[in-house]
Structure 1
Amino acid sequence: MSLVEVEDLGVEFGAVRAVDSVSFTLAPGAALGLVGESGSGKSTVASALLGLHRDTGARVTGSVRVGGVDVAAAGDDELRRLRGGVAAMVFQDPLSALDPYFAVGDQIAEVHRAHSGVSRRAARARAVDVLGRVGIPDAARRARSRPHEFSGGMRQRALIAMALACEPDLLIADEPTTALDVTVQAQILDLLHALREETGMGLLLVTHDVGVAAESVDDVLVMRDGRVLERGGVAQVLGAPRDAYTRELLSAVPRVEGSGSGPVPGTGTGSGSDSGSGSGSAAGADDGVGDGVGDGGGVGGGVGGGGGDGDAEGVTDARRAEGVVGDVVVEAEGLRRVFGRGRRAFTAVDGVSLTVRAGETLGVVGESGSGKTTLGRMLVGLLEPTAGQLRHGGAEKPGKGVAPGVQMVFQDPVSSLNPRRSVGESIADPLRARGDRDGDAIRARVRDLMQRVGLDPAHYDRYPHEFSGGQRQRVGIARALAAEPRLIVCDEPVSALDVTTQAQVTALLAELQRELGLALVFVAHDLAVVRQVSDRVAVMRNGRIVEQGPVDEVYGAPQDPYTRQLLAAVPALDPAVAAERRAARAAGAHAVREDGGAAGKELAAA
């Protein structure tokens, strides 16, 4: 008997048909991935398995059975038993899924009590047990912590622990690693794999990241516009896709293996070379409001190409001769930033030195908390350095505040745009800030900028909620361009976007850089994206740059162990390579535990 049986599922929200005739089965202990762009219907299908569309006004047709329960026909009590007892869901954003006012352990205990009826003491003990199972250190103490006291990776582990509290037969994971850096993402994927082996539970993984699917599932369904376009074994679908859309989706995936380079040391065999994103036909897949502009060209060409034989600053003579790379735009020397005072002082950036020239892109990579964003904000002028020197165009930055000729594109365009102002007015802000007063001239300039970044100028008076994620990021880029900067610092500009939209945004930045000779600092935790867009790369850890140089050299022959660790955590599109890397990570983690245990015994004996 199948654990999940979905037959001819349809979900309509008013006039919008979000899911159209989807059918699949999932056997006990198996893992299935739903892959596709934002808006393809993946999360809507996942929600239907738990009856989450009930009483929302959605019209659900077809048949859904989970653990033998007919979800549509189930009463409220039976549906409550299904949710958490038979099937549990891990959501994309743990901060919004966890109550900020209650300790994490209490929230897990409450879920366990609701389904098992055990005492408070037994429920708290169960909460500590499952927190330990998902790798939370010192689980008894950390169970008393509130969500804001956990890191992003630990909050996601806590959500998984909550899902495991009642030992469900099915775990539904909806984009569980989207906002996590590569090492934490690898830990979460390894955890899900280990839990499947340990408990025999089934897994339904919803993701727009093809590499994550290759790491985690046995079979995959590729969705677009609410329909299943292709299905089969993950190795078959990713290795020899039959549908044109699947091929387009795979071609947009950035790779850490550079064009013409061999496999990254310590990370197994490469799974392909750089490739461009296909047509502009996918541009509308993420778009709630179509802009009518297809983004041709892919990331394969990148914003740079990465230097081969570079000088001390990693800029190739060939690129300089072509006029692609010009004068120094920003130069940092010994930058340091400390937050807090006394014993509570925390050094976020410690002694960072770097140079960025006109026409080149410097990628800055590292895990969450490594100091990347703090460094980017200091380069812009949003934060003042505690120590060190920062020069723009060879001169010290005058006074405090944003440096002249420098702009920033933020990670989350939703929070960086005023929801009560039209996008046109938001783009116009830098023009008014510099003293422009001619309303007609401002509007004409904004419309020109919108067209340049691939937005319809007729949408000047629309509001941010009327645009898709990729379109909102284009608005952020247009706003940055309005001030005619020499340098743009991009802080995780594509981290929340699906791969085809990522390709469109990075291709746009490449085109703008070629046209305008911009210098870019591209801050990201996604090493594959940084490889595609950068000429040089700086690897940060604990506030310091541990390795810096031409992108091909750093990725092709990393010198620092931390760089090698980051590269080894990047998801592989080849499931066999992914399994090898997972085994290597497990062996490494076991060796660390063994070393730690031996050291503890020696200390105890002493």
Structure 2
Amino acid sequence: MSVPVAPVAPLVPVLPVVTVAGLTVAFDDSVTAVDDLSFTLDAGRALALVGESGSGKSTVAGALLGLHHGTGARVDGRVTVGGIDVGSAGPAELRELRGGVAAMVFQDPLSALDPYYAIGDQIAEVYRVHRPGTTRGAARARAVEVLDRVGIPDAARRSRSRPHEFSGGMRQRALIAMALACEPRLLVADEPTTALDVTVQAQILDLLHELRQETGTALLLVTHDVGVAAESADDILVMRGGRAVERGPAARVLAAPSEPYTRELLSAVPRLDGPLRPAPAAPPVGEPLLEAVGLRREFGRGKAKVTAVDGVSLTVRAGETLGVVGESGSGKTTLGRMLVRLLDPTDGRLRYAGTEIGRLSEKELRPHRRELQMVFQDPVSSLNPRRSIGESVADPLRAAGERDDRLVRSRVRELLDRVGLDPDRYDAYPHEFSGGQRQRVGIARALAARPRLIVCDEPVSALDVTTQAQVTALLADLQAELGLGLVFIAHDLAVVRQVSDRVAVMRAGRIVEQGTVEKVYGAPEDPYTRRLLAAVPALERTPAAA
């Protein structure tokens, strides 16, 4: 007696969430940002696009959501996301794609969120657009639900807060919550952790991993931080000049890269086990160039009063670099601005070259101003977009009383050359330069006044690893040549270890640990310092982790 066999259902192939075939994006006849790029991304998988600034990573991310439509860019090839042909999609399909099928988390959440509306209202608006017929109350409940899901404490109350009332890490979580509101099949994260300290960065990366595990969402991670890619991605695609240089499992690419460019990229990554800054031939002696004792800075009054810096004491000698590390909100930037008297201390003493400058009036401080300079974190906002970079670098010279235009122009051209820029670009404007080049302009401007001390506030946080290495090497060369004292503020502990002689660790406005690089990194005494070091992404990936 034969047993009937049930018919076998035909296997339905599981299509990738993203298919990119021969993608080319050109912005004019001379600039091809992406050149014949192809890859696929399956549900639940994470692919990291890694490369230097200008390699085309963000252009690819924009192409997945059709953000180049109507911009004048020429887009060739085929891009399919969740079954939607992005290139031929009309307005209605693009509206469904953006937020419903795919969502994007931008690098700067403060500029991506509307400053006038509560966070919860912005999330609810996205939900109602993609879920027609949803009541306001249901949309608000969904907003609270996703905020709670991404770890916002007291989500119902905080949903009524505006973006400026959130910290940087909380704003990034809110942007992720907005992206997840409609449960998209693809999440595109464009440098989501660049401006975050290591502990918040670790939290965001853990969150993205948990969400992928729970929902099966595919993740395209755009980053110049190879450590972040190592921590978060299943596969890595290395880009250079708009083309794919190398692609493969993260463990294989990181452990045994096959392409010279990938090896060059990895060799430029600062590491906690990398070489230390060479010890000076003659350690600094004599009086400190800068000395702070019990510095304190308060903002606001009464119940609204906030103490940003609380009893900080430190010294910096000529030719020495003091690194300052800590989480967002620890008071690093406020301290840096106080050291060059861009902010007045509420209390404490500040001595420069033997002179008490903490209480000097602006007129009394003027002779010391040119010797105390600052390199700001964001060169875009610190440079006037309507003035050429030559004019910006010339400002300190003119402020010091130099009126001879020929001498000023000659001095500026010399400074541009010294920081590795073409002097003939004197009349070019900031938007014509890359991020690393604009940071070099900021350094040239700081050097124009012939300073003795420079405070660098996150000078390399937004730069790719090779440009980062170039800028830190430039600062080291200038310091050796000019005997500068440097205060290097950063949230990247590996970079600080590489460039500093001594390190101060800040938390909640106080220095919790201070000492030589060898001591603080090799045998940290404070639990907070140990927690910071443990949160730094590891570059190595084992096959099991992949």
TM-score normalised over the length of structure 1: 0.84
2:215 paired with 1:199 = yes
Distance 2:401 2:544 in 1: 55
5 Å-filtered alignment, 1:412-491, equals 412-491=378-457
Write the letter of the residue equivalent to 2:193: T
> Is 2:360 aligned against 1:399?
yes
Q: Is the 8 A contact 2:18 2:82 kept in 1?
A: yes
Please give the per-residue CA displacement for 1:369-419, whole angstroms capped at 9, x wherever unaligned.
111111111110111111111111122127234644211111111111122
Distance in 2 (alpha carbons) for counterparts of 1:343 and 1:437: 49
Verify: 1:305 aligned to 2:319, yes or no: no
1:431-474 C-alpha deviation (Å, 9 max, x unpaired): 12122222211211111111111111111121111111111111
Cα gap change, 1:180 to 1:578, in 2 (>3 Å): farther
Q: 2:255·2:541 contact (CA, 8 Å) conserved in 1?
A: no
Name which of 516, 520, 525 aligns with 1:550.
516
Corresponding letter in the other structure for 2:174: A
Q: Say if 2:503 and 2:515, in contact at 8 Å, map to a contact too.
A: yes
Q: In the alignment, which residue of structure 2 is the partner of 1:369? A: 329
Say if 2:500 is the partner of 1:539: no
Cα distance in 1 for residues equivalent to 2:278 and 2:294: 28
Question: What's the counterpart of residue 346 of structure 2?
Answer: 386
**Is residue 575 from structure 1 mapped to residue 535 from structure 2 by the alignment?**
no
Aligned to 1:9: 23
1:325 to partner: Cα distance: 6.2
**Structure 1 gap segments, 5+ residues each:** 258-272, 275-300, 307-318, 581-606
Q: Give 1:81-120 correspondences, 5 Å limit.
A: 81-117=96-132, 118-120=134-136
Q: Deviations over 1:219-267 (max 9, x none)?
A: 010001100000000011011111111111111111122xxxxxxxxxx
Checking the alignment, whether the CA contact within 8 Å between 1:305 and 1:534 is kept in structure 2 is no
Q: Which residue of 1 aligns with 2:270?
A: 254
Q: Which whole-Å deviations, capped at 9, do the CAs of 1:99-130 have from their partners, x for residues lacking one?
A: 11111111111111111121111111111100
* Partner residue, 1:29: 44
Aligned partner of residue 146 in structure 2, secondary structure: helix
Partner deviation per Cα, 1:473-513 (whole Å, 9 max, x = no partner): 11111111111111111011111111111111100000001
Q: Which moved more, 1:64-73 or 1:18-27?
A: 64-73
Look up the SS of the partner of 1:72 in the other structure. helix
Structure 1 position 38 matched with structure 2 position 35: no
Residue 281 (structure 1) aligns with: none
* TM-score between the two structures when normalised by the length of structure 2: 0.93
Q: What is the deviation of 1:47? A: 1.2
Alpha-carbon shift at residue 147 of structure 1 (Å): 1.0
Q: Structure 1 residues 323, 141: closer, same or farther in 2, change over 3 A?
A: closer
Paired residue for 1:18?
Answer: 33
Which of these residues, 75, 78, 99, is aligned with residue 63 of structure 1? 78
Letter in structure 2 aligned against 1:99: D
Shift, 1:174, TM fit: 0.8
| Higher mean displacement: 68-77 or 247-256 | 68-77
Residue in structure 2 matched with residue 220 of structure 1 by the alignment = 236
8 Å CA contact retained: 1:326, 1:358 = no
CA RMSD of aligned residues (A): 1.6
Q: 1:578 to 1:488 in 2, by over 3 A?
A: farther
Counterparts of residues 275-314 of structure 1 (less than 5 Å) = 304-305=277-278
Aligned partners of 2:543 and 2:387: how far apart in 1? Answer: 48
Q: 1:577 to 1:549 in 2, by over 3 A?
A: farther
SS in 2 for 1:420: coil
Contact 2:20 / 2:37 at 8 angstroms: preserved in 1? yes
Shift of 1:516: 0.6
Question: Which consecutive residues of structure 2, in runs of 5 or more, have no partner in the other structure?
Answer: 1-14
Q: Residue 525 of structure 1 aligns with which residue?
A: 491
State the 1:324 CA deviation: 5.9
| Aligned partner of residue 575 in structure 1, secondary structure | coil
Q: Secondary structure at the match of 2:88?
A: coil
Mean CA deviation greater in 132-141 or 479-488: 479-488
Q: CA deviation at 1:577?
A: 11
Shift of 1:575: 2.5
The more displaced of 197-206 and 432-441 is 432-441
Does the Cα contact within 8 Å between 1:325 and 1:360 map onto a contact in 2? no
**Corresponding position: 1:358 with 2:318:** yes
Residue identity over aligned pairs, in percent, reads: 75
| SS class of match (1:34) | strand
Q: Residue 17 of structure 2 contacts residue 42 of structure 2 at CA under 8 Å; is this kept in 1?
A: yes
Greater CA drift, 510-519 or 83-92: 83-92
The aligned counterpart of 1:285 is none
> In 2, distance between residues paired with 1:41 and 1:149?
33
Distance across 2 between alignment mates of 1:344 and 1:468? 40
Q: Distance in 2 between matches of 1:460 and 1:17?
A: 26
What is the distance in 2 between the residues matched to 1:359 and 1:201? 51
Amino acid at match of 2:20: V
Structure 2: distance between partners of 1:543 and 1:494? 23
How many residue pairs get aligned? The number is 524
Change (3 A) 1:325 1:47: farther
